[in-house]
Amino acid sequence: MASEVHDRPDDNARPGAPENGVDHEFLALERELTVLLRRARASSGEMARAVHPDLEPAAYGLLVRLEETGPQRATDLAGYFGVGKATMSRQLRALEDLGLVARDPDPADGRAALLRLTDEGRARFSTVRTARRERYVRQLADWDRGEVAELARLLQQLNAGGEQ
């Protein structure tokens, strides 16, 4: 009878179950996301410098957001990025000083301002974004279009889960 117990597969040995307390699929996911995020931070810095040599990497995300959404209030941007008003004000002031972002009165509230990309900011950002997309095309040239679409779908699903 004792040999029968040893012959049965351990519950932890079934696919998807942690083995010795280690969940290998999630360990692999953590490792790959760490590499991806490290590369993304480095890439963000490169793209920021390509937009303008004095642009901070963190401020590049503000350009992305303004390009995607159009004019926004500083408080809405701070909430989206999860930073304080002082941090957001400093980053926006730097973007304004570089001529990449401008303030316009908010028609819904005369006391508030909406921030938008300037023509110069939009042109510089567009050039860098186009170059980045071309790099993705080269990097994934051997992939099937369906695989690229599936990767985009899975990343969107992961990002949507993180926003909940």
pLDDT tens column, 48-88: 999 999 999 888 999 999 999 999 999 999 999 999 999 99
Q: Which residues contact 53 (CB under 8 A, 6 or more apart)?
A: none
What mean pLDDT comes out for the span 153-162?
A: 88
Please say whether the beta carbons of 18 and 12 come within 8 A: yes
pLDDT digits (tens, 9 = 90+) for 95-109: 999 999 999 999 998
| Averaged pLDDT, 10-24 | 63
pLDDT at position 10, please?
46
pLDDT at 17: 61
Residue entry with tokens 């696919």: 15
Q: What pLDDT score was predicted for residue 4?
A: 43
Q: What is the per-residue DSSP string for 17-36? A: S-BTTB-HHHHHHHHHHHHH
Question: Percent of the chain having pLDDT more than 70?
Answer: 87
Mean pLDDT of the chain: 87
Domains by residue range for the chain, with CATH: 36-162 (1.10.10.10)
